[in-house]
DNA sequence: CATATAGGCAACCTCCTGGGTGCCTATATG
DNA sequence: CATATAGGCACCCAGGAGGTTGCCTATATG
């Protein structure tokens, strides 16, 4: 799973329920399915499916402990998503910089 | 549309076709529907639908010019997505920093 | 051992999404 | 003016996503 596809990553992030789960994990804690679904108004199975999506996208780690399964945020995935966005921004910046240089060179 | 919801934003980003469109716009250029669909192996209507999604999420600006409609990347939206990811990361960082301080205080 | 709790599996349902087509309007252009 | 081109609108279709329920296994615990 070294190569994380951006589309899958963003797709997994594209759901408010999953974002709230990730927020809950964002302090580095590790939570079970029941804990993650607490207060979410959807069934335990619904929660499990969301976690499958997050795990499939590489956004969370899954670790079995006794009869529980604990989930933790995978920071690399968050950074992979950020990297994609950064590339878009830097390309924009690069173009503006080149444009600025061109204008200044020709005009000034 | 000042308030961009992260879920909708990421959802719009969660498609390889749309990501490629955004990449094509990432240098700040402005392209028509036909231009954006060039080489994409989907119909013009398919392209238009993807652009509707991107526009609905606030990721692109739409500007009519003659008989064409030109699309341009909205950088604010990209930054909004980055901000969400940054918040997750910073919360993690904060927790690790506090943990580190606690350990060093108690142990050293 | 009996029971409660955490989770998995599979079936099912509904709605959205990604894709298409056909036909319409509007703008360029010979 | 006739024609070509850019888009829009409406409808259609198949498949996936989000959600549920029922029933199963596995681990704790009185």
Task: Kindly report, residue by residue over A70-101, the tens digit of the pLDDT.
Answer: 999 999 999 999 999 999 998 888 777 787 78
Contact B85 A78 (CB under 8 A): yes
Q: Any atom of strand C under 7 A from CB of A69?
A: yes
Q: How far apart are CA B33 and CA B91, in angstroms?
A: 40
Give residue A1's pLDDT. 44
Which nucleotide lies closest to B49 by the C1' atom and the CA atom? C18
pLDDT of residue B107: 54
User: pLDDT band for position A107 (50/70/90)?
Assistant: low
Q: Centre a 10 Å sphere on the Cβ of residue A91 and count the other Cβ atoms it contains.
A: 16
pLDDT number for residue B3? 61
Tokens, residue B45: 């209507």
Number of CB atoms found within 10 A of residue A59's CB: 27
**Which residues are CB-contacts of B42 (< 8 A; sequence separation ≥ 6)?**
B17
B5 and B20 in contact (C-beta within 8 Å)? no
Distance CA B1, CA A29 (A): 34
From residues 38-97 of B, which are strand C contacts by CB within 7 A? 41-43, 45-46, 49-50, 53, 66-67
Q: What is the CATH number that goes with domain B6-107? A: 1.10.10.10
- Separation between Cα atoms, residue B76 and residue A54, nearest integer Å: 26
Q: Name the residue among B21, B22, B54 with its Cα closest to residue B40.
A: B21
Residue B108: the pLDDT is 44
Q: How many residues does chain B have?
A: 108
Task: Round to the nearest angstrom and report the end-to-end CA distance of chain A.
Answer: 51
Question: What is the pLDDT averaged over residues A14-21?
Answer: 98
Q: Are A21 and A51 in contact (CB under 8 A)?
A: yes
Per-residue pLDDT of chain B (108 residues; tens, 9 = 90+): 446 789 999 999 999 999 999 999 999 999 999 999 999 999 999 999 999 999 999 999 999 999 999 999 999 999 999 999 999 998 888 777 777 777 776 654
Positive or negative, the Cα torsion across A92, A96, A101, A102? positive
Inter-chain residue contact A13 with B14, CB threshold 8 Å: yes
| Three-state DSSP class for residue A67 | coil
Mean pLDDT (chain A) is 91
Within 8 A of A26 by CB-CB distance, chain B residues are 87-89, 91-92
- What is the structure's pLDDT at B106? 60
| B26 contacts A5? CB cut-off 8 A | no
Q: Determine whether the interchain pair B7/A16 forms a contact, defined as Cβ–Cβ distance below 8 Å.
A: yes
Domain boundaries, chain A: 6-107
Nearest to A27 among B19, B75, B95 (CB): B95
Give the model's pLDDT for residue B101.
Answer: 79
CA-nearest of A93, A15, A84 to B22 is: A84
CA at B60, C1' at C22: how many angstroms apart? 29
What tokens were used for B11?
Answer: 């959802």
Residues of chain A above pLDDT 90, percent: 78
Q: Which nucleotide is nearest to A18 (CA to C1')?
A: D18
């Amino acid at each position: 799973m070294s190569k994380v596809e951006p589309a899958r990553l963003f797709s997994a992030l594209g759901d408010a329920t999953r974002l709230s789960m990730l927020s809950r994990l964002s302090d580095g804690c590790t939570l079970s399915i029941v804990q993650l679904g607490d207060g979410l108004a959807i069934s335990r199975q619904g929660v499990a499916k969301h976690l499958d999506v997050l795990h499939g996208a590489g956004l969370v780690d899954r670790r079995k402990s006794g009869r529980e399964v604990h989930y933790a945020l995978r920071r690399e995935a968050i950074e992979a998503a950020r990297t994609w966005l950064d590339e878009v921004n830097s390309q924009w910046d690069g173009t503006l910089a080149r444009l600025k240089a061109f204008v200044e060179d020709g005009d000034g």
